[in-house]
Amino acid sequence: MAATDITPPSRFAEARKRFVKTGFGSPLAAITSVLVFTLLAYIAWGFLDWAAFRAVWSKEDVALCGDHSGACWSVIDARHRLILFGTYPYEEHWRSTLAAVAIVVTVLVSCLPAMWRATRLAVLWIVGFASYYLLMEGSLLGLAQVTTDGWGGLSLTLFLFASVVLLGMPMGLGLALMRRSEMPVVRWFAVAIIDTVRSLPLVTTLFTAAVVAPLFLPSWLEGDKIWRVIFAFALFFGAYQAEVFRGGFQAIPKGQFEAGKALGISYWSILGRIVLPQVFRHALPSTINMIVVTFKETAIVTIIGFFDILASGKTAFGTAQWSPYYIEVFLFVAAIYWVFIFSLGQYGEYLKSRMAISEH
């Protein structure tokens, strides 16, 4: 008697079957498959050949780069410190490294679901941000002081990113709440700010903060250029985030507010214990998206004269010796951006699918 095979087909076999069926089901599909895969393989091979097989890796071998048939990574070997740390003092680079690690760890830890409480996240981000600042600035820890003008490279990019998110998140929540207010003056004020900031290109907003704002501000309020720019950037983040939160608020039935009010619960308790936890949940995927966009947009500050990783990269090939190898530097900087942005984006996709499942 033949035993019936009751083991489920393996996932791989299923995927292979589907691949063959859709990719080689008809002559046209098969030809397309072969053509596209050949083209992709050709491009990938050409790139690998240039970037790896025929490349020169160490800065001692820079003389070999002359014929230039492959990539010359010597420029990265020689100049990576400049790209990563900008003009930060050479002996203090370990501080800049640690500070950057602090920000990355903060972001990584806040990806854990166990951290998703408002207080925990707030504490985590403030601690992460504070350790960054203490390490970079140094005077409070008894280290040599480095003012914000000396910050640069990847650390500056991460700093801008972290401070914008940290400052912009409460701004966004505040604006979203003001926009829902029953008091018309408060509502109009929020609408005016949100709509104006959202209509303007980010460069314009940052430029206004960096160059124009000192005309309006009294000298005691002027502050450093970097703080004004961070404030304006956070306002940009807040204005967009307010709309994200607004979407979250709209997903919550009005009955919940009314039930809370009927039970005599105060406004802030209704908000903090009933409404906001659900709003955050609904707004989570769009919030991650906003954070990804913010990371990408930090590159804009190079226009208004900050020494972020894009600007320090441009400086790295600025000398006569290294200027032919600008492609390698740009690829290196692009790869760094790509790793950060791609991982954050994939995390957002994962959260979206996770929430789509739990909703059923």
Partner 1 sequence: MATAEELRRRAKRRSFTIQSAILILIVLAVWGAVSNAQYNLTRLNMTSGFSFLERDTGWDYSFSLIERSISDRYYYTLFAGLLNTLFVGFICIITTTFFGFIIGTLRDARHPALNFAANVYVQIFRNIPLILQAIFLYAILIHMGGPRQALNIGDVAFLSGRGMMLPGLNIAPAAAVGLLLTSIAIAIGLIIKKTSLWRGIAIWFGGTIVLSLLAAMVLRPEGEGVFSIPALAGLRFRGGISVPIELLALIVSITLYGSAYIAEIVRGGLAQVPRGLIEAGQALGLSNMSIWSRIKVPMALRSIIPPLGNQWIFMMKATTIGIAIGFSDLFYITVNSISQSGQTLELILILMLTFLAINYSIAFFTNWLNARLQLKEH
CA distances from 320 to 24, 33, 75, 317, 323 (A): 53, 46, 12, 8, 5
Q: Does 12 bind partner 1 (CB under 8 A)?
A: no
Q: Residues 202, 242, 291, 316: which binds partner 1 (CB under 8 A)?
A: 202
Q: Residues 50, 133, 257, 337: which binds partner 1 (CB under 8 A)?
A: 337
Nearest Cα neighbor of 161 from 99, 76, 71, 212 is: 99
Q: Residues 114, 182, 253, 263: which binds partner 1 (CB under 8 A)?
A: 182
Q: Residues 85, 159, 297, 348: which binds partner 1 (CB under 8 A)?
A: 297
What are φ and ψ of residue 308, in 5° steps?
Answer: -80, -175
Q: Residues 104, 134, 252, 327: which binds partner 1 (CB under 8 A)?
A: 327
- Name the segment binding partner 1 (CB under 8 A); options: 16-24, 76-84, 118-126, 229-237: 16-24
Name 173's Cβ contacts closer than 8 Å, sequence gap at least 6: 241, 242, 245
How far is residue 27's CA from residue 30's CA, in Å, rounded to a whole number? 5
Q: Does 183 bind partner 1 (CB under 8 A)?
A: yes
Q: Residues 104, 341, 351, 352: which binds partner 1 (CB under 8 A)?
A: 341
Amino acid at 348: G
How far is residue 119's CA from residue 102's CA, in Å, rounded to a whole number? 19
Q: Which of residues 206-225 bind partner 1 (CB under 8 A)?
A: 207-208, 211-212, 214-218
Q: Does 116 bind partner 1 (CB under 8 A)?
A: no
- Contact 85/336 with Cβ under 8 angstroms? no
How far is residue 86's CA from residue 156's CA, in Å, rounded to a whole number? 8
Q: Which of residues 306-325 bind partner 1 (CB under 8 A)?
A: 310, 314
Which parts of this chain interact with partner 1 (CB under 8 A)? Answer: 19, 22-23, 29, 32-33, 35-37, 39-40, 182-186, 189, 196, 199-204, 207-208, 211-212, 214-218, 296-300, 302-303, 310, 314, 326-327, 330, 333-334, 337-338, 341-342, 345
